[in-house]
Structure 1
Amino acid sequence: MSRRPTTSRRFADSGSIPFVGSLQSKTRSSPLLSVGLVVVGTLLIVGYLYHGSGGRSGDINALSRLEGGASCSLEALRALPFLKKAYGDSMHKVLHVGPDTCSVVSKLLKEEDTEAWGIEPYDLEEADGSCKSLVRRGIVRVADIKFPLPYRAKSFSLVIVSDAVDYLSPKYLNKTLPDLVRVSSDGVVMFSGLPGQQRVKGAELAKFGRPAKYRSSSWWIRFFVQTSLEENEGAYKKFEQAAAKKSYKPACQIFHLKPLN
């Protein structure tokens, strides 16, 4: 399930190509030409990443890698069609929890007969106008998920959580994940980073207060057992079958948890 990193290299040694050598002599006399070449080169590389990855979903993948690690919230967006196949009617009333929740909620609200709400666990200081509108309407709210969620049991059919649990210590996970299950009637879909993924530490510490800790699938399975949470094998199989038909390979770990009895 891991994704190969994208690397960029210099395409050729400029000294071995006469035409490139002539360009170099001109760039020494013209700073504007040098800047222009850099801009054109950047556009070509971005265009290549977009075209070679297969459109919009490929563009998300490329940007995710360039940012220094896979964004599980972007992965949740990519996975929505397969979640619909796996959960069917359960996708009619959804709560998303995690950073970029405005993007996920906005996408869900565009689906027919779908109600969606979101919780941003950190801050919305850089939110755009669309996100601020969701907050004003009470659809998206900022809440610290280390404490009980302000919802009654089974308030939502399905809860999707992404880019949130990786920033919690086991002390808080023991409370937060069961609480996410509590507010769902049909279960929780959890997106978690893969071990070995790296992010920009400075940006992490500024927003999340601590770097992400990416745990293995075996760690999560032991955790589910210890906290009396049960994986939803039926939903998992349906999701995998739908994903296989489209050759979808997620860049994050995806776990399906049953609701509480």
Structure 2
Amino acid sequence: MSRRPVNPARRLVDGGSIPFMGSAHSKSRSSPLLPVILLAVGAVLLIGYLYSGSGDVSCMLEVQRALPVLKKAYGDSMRKVLHVGPETCSVVSKLLKEEDTEAWGVEPYDLDDVDANCKSLVRKGIVRVADIKFPLPYRAKSFSLVIVSDAVDYLTPKYLNKTLPEMARVSADGVVIFTGYPGQHSAKIAELSKFGRPAKLRSPSWWIKYFLQNNLEDNEAATKKFEQAAAKRSYKPACQVFHIKSLH
């Protein structure tokens, strides 16, 4: 696809020379450990960049990391999943590899330069391109679980008021929302022509207040199970994760 996350490794190279490199050219013989040490330091810096709040964040990738935790928390509710968000073909493909899991996807934006696998998913109707500011093209409770990533950050409250209840409508057992933290940069931020507006990364307190004001109930049981499963696997989400009950 044409939407690609920024390559942090390239930034590290382009950012200038590595400190202490000049000292390597001393009259005395350099230590054979020096290249190994420099490589290790570079790896640490790269990992830190990827997971720091100042790096580019893709909650779509975070969903894929979280799948084992979600399966533990939701159990049978992972049997029929709808993913909503950019690059949904990647998430759907990953879900379809899971045992006893059916998966569908909604791509909120036009697909450009997609691979053969994504074209196949679209052709089969497994992935649809649809503007999520309007009603989703599914009946109520069509899916056991709806997972959302990198989508709600680009919606104003006006459209959130329509979109989130729609996601709760088409789910039977709940909605899981992956959204960025304030201070993070979305991996999609440079593509304003695609999204129409920059991402608005809101605080946890903003979201909690929003859910209450719009009668979207927190799924406390799922939240607790998710947190317990995450702790056992030493999993720390790079995105905010909210668990919302379905509309009954």
Q: Aligned pair 1:99/2:102, yes or no?
A: no
Q: How does 1:17-28 map to 2 (within 5 A)?
A: 17-18=24-25
CA RMSD of aligned residues (A): 3.3
Distance 1:141 1:193, change over 3 A: same
Give the alignment's TM-score, normalised by structure 2.
0.83
Indicate the larger mover: 202-211 or 169-178: 202-211
Aligned twin of 2:200: 213
Q: How does 1:120-159 map to 2 (within 5 A)?
A: 120-159=107-146
Distance 1:156 1:47, change over 3 A: farther
Output the CA distance in 1 between the equivalents of 2:189 and 2:243: 31
Q: How does 1:1-261 map to 2 (within 5 A)?
A: 8=12, 10-18=17-25, 48=43, 68-199=55-186, 203-261=190-248
Contact 2:60 2:150 in 1 (8 A): yes
Contact 1:67 1:199 in 2 (8 A): no
Q: How many residues align?
A: 232
Output the CA distance in 1 between the equivalents of 2:123 and 2:233: 37
1:222 CA drift (Å): 0.8
**Structure 2 residues without counterparts, runs of 5 or longer:** 1-7, 28-34
Output the CA distance in 2 between the equivalents of 1:14 and 1:161: 45
1:127 CA drift (Å): 1.1
1:195 CA drift (Å): 0.6
Distance 1:14 1:80, change over 3 A: closer
Contact 2:109 2:195 in 1 (8 A): yes
Which structure is higher in helix share? 1
Report SS of the residue matched to 1:214.
Answer: coil
Output the CA distance in 2 between the equivalents of 1:179 and 1:115: 20
| Amino-acid identity (%) | 70
1:15 CA drift (Å): 3.4
1:62 CA drift (Å): 6.3
Larger radius of gyration between Structure 1 and Structure 2: 1
Output the CA distance in 2 between the equivalents of 1:45 and 1:162: 33
Distance 1:65 1:205, change over 3 A: farther
Contact 1:187 1:259 in 2 (8 A): yes
Output the CA distance in 2 between the equivalents of 1:120 and 1:225: 27
Output the CA distance in 1 between the equivalents of 2:225 and 2:188: 36
Distance 1:113 1:47, change over 3 A: farther
**Structure 1 residues without counterparts, runs of 5 or longer:** 21-39, 54-60
Give the alignment's TM-score, normalised by structure 1.
0.79
Matched AA of 2:227: E
Report SS of the residue matched to 1:203.
Answer: coil
For residues 145-195 of structure 1, the C-alpha deviation after alignment (integer angstroms, 9 at most, x for no partner) is 000001110000000000000000000000000000000000100001101
Contact 2:180 2:186 in 1 (8 A): no
Output the CA distance in 1 between the equivalents of 2:202 and 2:242: 13
Contact 2:82 2:104 in 1 (8 A): yes
Structure with greater contact order relative to length (CA < 8 Å, sep ≥ 6): 2
For residues 73-102 of structure 1, the C-alpha deviation after alignment (integer angstroms, 9 at most, x for no partner) is 100111110000111001000000001111
